[in-house]
């Protein structure tokens, strides 16, 4: 759509090879990288500088190289904020449950705090990790109540959150049949956001639809964070140049 001559490709980097790859990136021809699971936190000490928002979030998903200086950014929080906006979700004064406590969760918590949500509860298989995430964000959260609970269906049912957001990789291709909330009784007054976009409809989303909850997948978040990354790398306003619907339709068709 933009006529820009550029190449973007996948690189699979094992955790033990991350530091070596960062130095290769620093001295090579690659202009910028996105960072995905499980490196969003581990890459931070390997960079030269961190954008203030990414520093507050505690996770990096985009790195810009200027000469040989590597600067970490986070565009995931913006992607999630735009997901809420483009789907007409007004999160202010809502209670939210976040499933998972990794790098994506950090970006989502930051976005929700910016949106002015009433409360955020984080649940995770390892409760200690959820508690650390709560402690991290209490420093910047002045109006949003932050708590953590065990990943227990009964406790989540008692909580009865307005919005549930899956920030884990459970249910992602190829494990289509798995869900992080088995047997949870969704209802029509709830919204489920699954940050997974492949598959387009996870088992968790199917369960939520069976309970008449509104469901949203992670496609909008994925696209908006990617456009924001391009804005940084190319130093151009790519986000406002592309025809968003055509882009989303193209990706949706490829994943269908």
- Residues annotated as catalytic are 40
Strands (E), 83-136: 95-99, 119-124
Token look-up 């990617």 returns 226
d(Cα 191, Cα 201) in Å, to the nearest integer?
A: 14
Instruction: Identify the DSSP state of 56.
Output: H
Distance between the two ends of the chain, CA-based, in angstroms? 22
Q: Which two tokens stand for residue 95?
A: 């209670």
Q: Which two tokens stand for residue 29?
A: 């021809």
Sheet containing 32-34: give its strands across. 32-34, 62-66, 69-73, 49-50
């Amino acid at each position: 759509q933009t006529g820009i001559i550029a190449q973007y490709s996948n690189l699979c980097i094992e955790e033990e090879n991350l530091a070596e790859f960062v130095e290769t990136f620093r001295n090579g021809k690659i202009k910028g990288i996105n960072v995905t699971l499980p490196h969003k936190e581990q890459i931070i000490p390997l960079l030269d500088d961190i954008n203030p928002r990414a520093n507050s979030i505690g996770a990096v998903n985009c790195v810009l190289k200027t000469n040989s200086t590597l600067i970490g950014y986070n565009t995931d929080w913006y992607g999630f904020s735009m997901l809420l906006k483009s789907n007409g979700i007004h999160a202010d004064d809502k209670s939210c449950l976040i499933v998972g406590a990794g790098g994506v969760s950090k970006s989502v918590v930051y976005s929700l705090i910016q949106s002015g949500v009433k409360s955020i509860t984080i649940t995770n298989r390892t409760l200690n990790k959820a508690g650390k995430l709560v402690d991290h964000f209490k420093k910047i959260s002045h109006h949003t109540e932050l708590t953590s609970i065990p990943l227990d269906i009964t406790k989540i049912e008692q909580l009865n959150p307005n919005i549930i957001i899956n920030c884990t990789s459970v249910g992602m291709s190829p494990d289509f049949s798995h869900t992080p909330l088995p047997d949870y009784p969704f209802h029509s007054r709830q919204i489920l956001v699954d940050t997974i976009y492949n598959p387009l409809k996870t088992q968790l989303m199917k369960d939520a639809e069976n309970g008449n909850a509104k469901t949203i997948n992670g496609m909008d978040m994925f696209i908006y964070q990617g456009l924001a990354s391009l804005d940084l790398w190319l130093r151009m306003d790519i986000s406002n140049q592309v025809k968003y619907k055509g882009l989303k339709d193209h990706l949706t068709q490829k994943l269908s």
